[in-house]
Amino acid sequence: MPAMSRIALTLGLALGASAAPNSIVAPTGAEKLTVGLLGDYGWTGWQPLPLDFCNTALPKLQADGVTIPRDLQNDCDPGDRADIANATIEETWTARTAKYIEKVCLKKNCSAFMSVGDNFYDSGVDFTSEGIQRFYEGWANMYVGKAFDGKPWYQALGNHDVVAGKAGVDFQTRIAPLMEDRWYFGNDNLPYYTYDLKGSNWTATFAVVDSDCFINKYQQSTSVYNTDYVIECHKTTQTQVEFLRKAFAESNATWKILQIHHGFISSSTNYTELAPLMDIVRENNGVVINGHDHCMAHYQFNGTNFVLTGGAGYAEAGDCNYGVPMGPFTKWLGANAQQAANGFVTLDISYNALHFEYYARDMQLKGADYYPVAHDMVPSYSFDVTKHATKV
């Protein structure tokens, strides 16, 4: 495929064995390979419903017993409506962040990108005219340029991606990869999959799991995430647990990484339902990368490192406890009392270490320094993982 040729040309790396049609072949052969980690970025293209409908018509419809589709309920959420207003300050906040990510990744030569979900606010996308337009506006035409062209994006689902139910999940896992070579969701049209990145003397196994299926409150009938897809996959969470166990057990990789949306350890909400997955990560001496909280942070708990990289869209200080660490497991929070950092995380993979760097963008908005960063082309924080993964 042309995209694969561009990868080989750009990276100067040998590609692995051939893959199925419309799938990504991971670049291999480098002593060190750099990837970008980001999530909660998909604001561009979402147009909230008219305020008059949400404040006046919707209550009348509900009072009359009219069934309101969950995507309409979600699009009227007052908090999300306020967020979109902030997220589009000075035209397109996300577009500015995309340019910032491109600038950093040109400097660091990023080979691929990993998403931790919430790819499309507020209610995901499906195979409709509107969904297709938002796919291009919010992602395909947003992340373009030398740093992005031909680079694979290993995707995951977030809670906003499942509001459209099975139709939305099918669009992201089956339709989107056929529309755009860079968009990757495994070869089995499932929301969980595994892939390897390989260097000259190391291998990193990534396992993607859909955490939406595990969250108990999403099973409440009042939840906008209580869709046909979430109801069904909640019944089979053990399938994903065993998938992760098998993926890590069969891997002899130097590094093992779980890529997921919700945070097990957080400064906002700890999703303890994810414990069975975390037990497997801990047994294999793996690492967790997640989003959901709209900020960036590093946590350590029970010997496991948790990388929060949810600041690529609209960052929210409260999700990082306004910069105040909670408990000894908090190692770094990309926030202050007023605002959280907008940005992303890079991961340099080599045999000796997983080197994580947190890039916080200096946000100049309307003449004010919204989140001041003295030198935003250097990382605001970094740490290394040096103990190799084990095989259980």
For residue 75, being part of any structural domain is answered with no
N residues, the chain: 392
CA 222-223-224 angle, 5° bins: 115
Pair of tokens at residue 214: 């595990």
CATH classification of the domain holding 254 = 3.60.21.10
Q: What is the pTM of this model?
A: 0.85
Task: Give the full edge-to-edge strand order of the sheet including 203-208.
Answer: 14-15, 27-30, 193-199, 203-208, 255-259, 287-290, 304-309, 296-301, 330-333
For residue 161, being part of any structural domain is answered with yes
According to the model, what pLDDT value does residue 49 have? Answer: 60
Query: Which residue, among 324, 353, 319, 354, has the nearest Cα to 337 in the 3D structure?
Result: 324
Give the Cα separation of 134 and 124 in Å (integer): 9
**In this structure, are residues 98 and 142 in contact, taking their beta carbons and an 8 Å threshold?**
yes
According to the model, what pLDDT value does residue 343 have? Answer: 94
For residue 80, being part of any structural domain is answered with no
Give the Cα separation of 322 and 194 in Å (integer): 35
According to the model, what pLDDT value does residue 30 have? Answer: 79
Backbone angles phi, psi at 74, to 5 degrees: -65, -40
For residue 70, being part of any structural domain is answered with no
Query: Digits of tens for pLDDT over the chain (392 positions)?
Result: 333 333 332 333 333 333 334 445 556 677 999 999 999 986 666 566 666 666 777 677 778 787 766 666 666 667 665 666 555 543 455 678 899 999 999 999 999 999 999 999 877 899 988 889 889 988 999 999 999 999 999 999 999 999 999 999 999 999 999 999 999 999 899 999 999 999 999 999 999 999 999 999 999 999 989 999 999 999 999 999 999 999 999 999 999 999 999 999 999 999 999 999 999 999 999 999 999 999 999 999 999 999 999 999 888 899 999 999 988 999 999 999 988 999 999 999 999 999 999 999 987 665 556 788 989 999 999 999 999 999 87
**In this structure, are residues 281 and 287 in contact, taking their beta carbons and an 8 Å threshold?**
yes
Domain residues for the domain of 240 are 2-47+91-385
Q: Sign of the CA dihedral 174, 169, 3, 129?
A: positive
Give the Cα separation of 243 and 191 in Å (integer): 12
Give the Cα separation of 60 and 53 in Å (integer): 10
- Chain-centroid distance of CA 338 in Å reads 24
For residue 392, being part of any structural domain is answered with no
Q: What amino acid is encoded at 341 in this protein?
A: A
Q: How many domains does the chain have?
A: 1
According to the model, what pLDDT value does residue 107 have? Answer: 96
**In this structure, are residues 342 and 97 in contact, taking their beta carbons and an 8 Å threshold?**
yes
